[in-house]
Structure formats: C-alpha cells, structure tokens
Amino acid sequence: MKSELAALIHAALEQLVAKGTLAELPDTPPQIDRPREASHGDLSCNIAMVLAKRAGVAPRALAQQVIDALPTNTVIRQSDIAGPGFINFFIEQHHHTEVVRTILETGRLFGHSDSGGGRRVQVEFVSANPTGPLHVGHGRGAAIGDCLGRLLEATGWSVQREFYYNDAGQQINNLALSVQARAQGKGPDHSDWPADGYQGHYIEDVAKAYLSSETVQAADREITAAGDPADLEAIRDFAVASLRREQDQDLRAFQVVFDKYFLESSLYDDGAVKDTVTALQAAGHTYEDQDALWLRTTEFGDDKDRVMRKSDGGYTYFVPDVAYHHNKWQRGFERVINEQGADHHSTITRVRAGLQGLDVGIPEGWPEYVLHQMVTVMRDGAEVKLSKRAGSYVTLRDLIDWVGCDATRYFLVARAPSSQLTFDVDLALAKSNENPVYYIQYAHARCASVLRKANESLGEDSAQEGLSHLSCLSESETLALAISLGRFPEVVATAAERLEPHDLANYLRELAADFHSFYNAHKVLEVEPGTAKARLALVAATQQVIANGLALLGVSAPEAM
C-alpha cells in the first residue's frame, strides 16, 4: 500500500515540476507513515513540509497542490491536510480487504521478500565461553540472534549462523584447575581451591565423568577422558568438550541451530593472530612503548591507543578478535552482524580500528553490532539470582524447564535489545490475556477452531469461496483487522532492516488484539452465507499471518489450546 501511494505522490510531484512549482524532484522517495490515530487516515506524508522552502510556498498550500495534482486512481478515497502541512490519506475499502486474497494465495511466504538479493550475511551470536551452562543473558542473545537470522532469510539474504567458542585464555585455565581440584577431592572451601575457580555443581559432574573415563561428543570432536587427575591438559580438553556438549544440548532445546562453530584456539594454531599483528606492523599502524606493542587506534576514532602485545609477550584480548573478523572478511561475507551482550561495547571501536588498519578494503562500520542489556528473572514477586547447577546465576535451561521454549523465546525477544529486560516467570506461565505468548497463540488456535467448525458446516472450501465476497467485509473491527494483516510485510522488512525483532513480537500482540476484537464483535458462521464465507477467509488469513510471524520468532503456532 505504501509503495502504491508513493508512486501516486511521485506522479503528482512530476506534474508540479512540469508546471514550474518545483524546480526538480526530491532526491529521496516521499516518507509515508501510519498515523497513530485512525481518525487521521490510513497513511500520512510530510512531503509538502519537506519541499515547501525549496518551492517558496507555504507547506499547507503546497500540500493542496500535491493533492490537486494526484492522478486519477482507485486507491485514495479521501485526502486532507492536517497540522503544519501533513497530507493524510484515507484508502479505499477494497484495497484493505484484497490483502486477504494475497495472504491465502501466498501462504507461508506472505511477508517474505527478496530485498537481500541472495547476498551473504553472517550472524554471530551466543558465543559463550565453554566454562559453564548458558545463562539467561546467553539465552537473550540466542533468541535475538536466531530471530535476526530468520528475518534476514525472510527478506532474501543468504544467512550463516556462527558460534565463536572462546576456548583459549585464562578462563579456560580456571575451568581446568577447578575440575582438577574436584577430581582430587577438593571443594571450594579447601585451601588449594583455585582463586578464580568455578563453583557450580556442574564442575563436580564434569570431574566425576572425567574420573570415570567417559566419552563426550561435542559439535566437532569426540573425547574420552584420560581419568588421570594429574593430567591438567587432558582435563582441560575433556572439560571444554563436556561443557560445549551441554551448551549444544541447551541450544537444541531452545530451537537454535548453528551452521558453523569457530574455535578461538584455531586462530593461534594456524598463526592467524601472529599474521594479523605482522600485517598491522607492516601497514605502519603500530609502535612500541614500555616494552609493549601498541596499535594507533586513535587514527580510526578511538579515544586512546591500545596495547596489542603486552610486555610479557601475551596478546590483549581484542587482537584475536581482529584476526577472527579478518577471517570472516576473507570468507566473503558482505555483512557481518554480531549479537552480543552490552559488556562488549568497549571492544567495538578497537576491533573496527584493527580491521581498518589492515588496509585490505574492509569498509568502516564493518562488522555491525546488536548489543543486548541484562536480564532480571522474577518469580513469586522476588528476583531469582541463583541456579543449583550453575551456582551463581540463572541458566537458560532453568527458564526452558520453568515456562517452556515458546514463552522463553518470546519474552527474551519482545523488548528492544538496548532495554533491560525483566523476565516474569509467573506471567510467562499465566493462561490469560496478560501473557502475550498465550494471547497470540490463543488467537491462532481460535482461528483454527473456527475453520474446523466451518469445514463441517459449510465445506472445506468455504474460506476460499469467501474471496468472492470480500466486499462484505465492511465493519470497523473487520477493516481494522484487514489493515493489520496488510502491515505484516512492512513489519518484517523493517524489523530485518533495523535489526529489531521485537517489533515483530509487538506486532503479533497487536494483531491478536485486533482479531479478538473482531471475533467478539461479529459472528462468523451464524450469518448469511456470503458474509460468513468472507469472514472465514479473513479468519484463515489471520491464522496464516500469525503462524508466519510466530515462525520468524521460532515460536510454535498451536491449533488447539
């Protein structure tokens, strides 16, 4: 609808250029929005306010000239001028209801587009250290990252989902030392317990499995434990594999699948980190000071230069990040999107600076970042802070066990990533309209129920036959629902473009509200046949759009509740 209206406005502007009112057409298409209040029309455009100064005409006067220059059409029922020069458009009824036909003809592909043109994009998300179970922050990253992948695929991008395992560094050493201490019969209260050791019950489980010489299968490796509590290297390999397996199991339970797992250790094993440092030195972007090697990140917008190689010879943590993203660039991804916790904010500038310093053609602003804020879990009116298994935090598995995968995914994605999120376990379990997951899924199930009854009384083709009676859809609640259905492709496209899947979650709740309002106001089957079939077509279209939207969120669409 927006594109059709934009074409009409463009034609009107061409007429004003021909008449000399405007010297030339604007550089960008007219901005068309939906007014907040239905009484202000279906769509609104600010083009007269944008061009008024250039035309030397008052905005409201120019708005009237645009209206007068609109070509004859069957789209606009009425147009008027509001405020300082907004043009409000009221669309003909049949244009709203025809979306029902489009939805039923397009099916599960309604809302999809090919704007990505098959171009390659990588979405990296979760990327948790294999030192313990996934916590709720990882869960939020998993929900957001997976939904971003689904949205980008729906808009024509070729998506690769990647998990980066930080399997090198001090945290892994702490893990190995913690498991070794447990294997030697020492607990957190023992004087020899590692200073930064991990204390959750899972450490004891890993130690027992190691001593029993168990075999674990992670995503890309199978390891049989040596069983020797003195062999720290063997303990390290077994512990990492064990926790990687547990994280993989949790992600599968969360309906999240990755195309590739990338190990940080491989960047050291194949010399990528050393090669990256050498390349930055050769490009002239480094210097030595106080026995350390520095990168001139201030040349690329950072507030101060950063140490790359410390005086003891070890690399700072952002250096392998630069090497890793150079690897992504070499793999040919036009876009790379990193979904990470907000604590990664400080690394963005220095990683981009390092990539720019390589002088290999990587554009500014590459990669892109989506950063999510922390999650607070509430239950029985109090904050939940501890998990028996993890010892110090609530795990993703806890949430899945408490409220199920659907509610967990929806709640973790339903707010903007930049906003802190409170996960209310009691609300997620509630079977009421206050629970958005229940509310949306119930709308889908109600649609399915209506259609089952219609198949029994009017025949299986009754909804399809309703396409010949769409003119019967004229009541305010009916048209409001049709208009909401017509918004779905725009919502999907915008959520993908802005990397904001919460917009889709909120849209589905609004759509469910419009459907429930329609259903409560109007009988579907107990009316004359033409109207009944038209309303059945509307119900079938609603069911399809809710199912399509929930699929993009990774949430199921039950047909009975």
pLDDT at 389 exceeding the cut of 80:
no
pLDDT at 75 exceeding the cut of 90:
no
The residues facing 162 across adjacent strands are: 124, 260
pLDDT at 408 exceeding the cut of 80:
yes
Mean pLDDT of 460-465: 90
State the pLDDT at residue 540.
98
Contact at 8 Å (CB) between 111 and 154? yes
Mean pLDDT of 94-115: 95
Q: Give the tokens for residue 450.
A: 């209506």
State the pLDDT at residue 41.
86
Q: Which pLDDT band, with edges at 50, 70 and 90, does 149 fall under?
A: very high
pLDDT at 387 exceeding the cut of 80:
no
Q: Contacts from 514-521 at CB under 8 Å and sequence distance 24+?
A: 514/477, 514/480, 514/481, 514/484, 515/443, 515/446, 515/447, 515/481, 515/542, 515/546, 516/439, 516/443, 516/446, 517/477, 517/480, 517/481, 518/477, 518/478, 518/480, 518/481, 519/446, 519/450, 521/475, 521/477
Mean pLDDT of 136-158: 98
Q: Which pLDDT band, with edges at 50, 70 and 90, does 391 fall under?
A: confident
State the pLDDT at residue 205.
95
Q: Which pLDDT band, with edges at 50, 70 and 90, does 475 fall under?
A: very high
Exposure string over 437-467, b if 16+ CB within 10 A, otherwise e:
bbbbbbbbbbbbebbeebeeebeeebbbbbb
What integer best gives the mean pLDDT of the chain?
A: 94
Q: 3-class SS at 327?
A: helix
State the pLDDT at residue 2.
83
State the pLDDT at residue 522.
96
Cβ-proximal residues to 334 (8 Å cutoff; 6+ apart), any chain: 119, 120, 121
State the pLDDT at residue 346.
83
State the pLDDT at residue 28.
82
Distance CA(65)–CA(21), nearest Å, equals: 9
pLDDT at 372 exceeding the cut of 90:
yes
Distance CA(464)–CA(103), nearest Å, equals: 11
DSSP code of 395?
B
Q: Which whole-number Å values give the CA distances from 73 to 470, 483, 534, in the listed order? A: 20, 20, 25
Domains (ranges, CATH) in the chain? Answer: 2-91 (3.30.1360.70), 170-258 (no CATH), 433-553 (1.10.730.10)
Which residue type does 486 have? Answer: G
State the pLDDT at residue 545.
98
Q: Give the tokens for residue 239.
A: 């512990």
Each residue's pLDDT tens digit, 217-250: 887 779 999 999 999 999 999 999 999 999 999 9
State the pLDDT at residue 29.
82
pLDDT at 407 exceeding the cut of 80:
yes
DSSP code of 29?
P
Distance CA(520)–CA(52), nearest Å, equals: 46
Q: Which pLDDT band, with edges at 50, 70 and 90, does 374 fall under?
A: very high
Instruction: Give the CA angle between residues 247, 256, 109 to the nearest 5°.
Output: 180
- Of 167-176, 447-456, 522-531, 548-557, the poorest mean pLDDT is in 167-176
Return left, alpha or beta for 196; rule: phi > 0 is left, psi -120 to 50 is alpha, else beta. Answer: alpha
pLDDT at 321 exceeding the cut of 80:
yes
State the pLDDT at residue 31.
87
Each residue's pLDDT tens digit, 16-64: 999 999 988 888 888 899 888 878 888 999 999 999 998 899 999 999 9
Each residue's pLDDT tens digit, 502-514: 999 999 999 999 9
Question: Could you give the percent of the chain with pLDDT greater than 70?
Answer: 100
Query: Environment class of residue 203 by beta-carbon count within 10 Å: exposed (0-12), middle (13-18) or buried (19+)?
Result: buried
Most confident of 63-67, 74-78, 165-169: 63-67
Mean pLDDT of 352-380: 95
The pTM for the full model equals 0.90
Each residue's pLDDT tens digit, 187-204: 999 999 999 899 889 999
State the pLDDT at residue 74.
85
Which residue type does 4 have? Answer: E
State the pLDDT at residue 345.
87
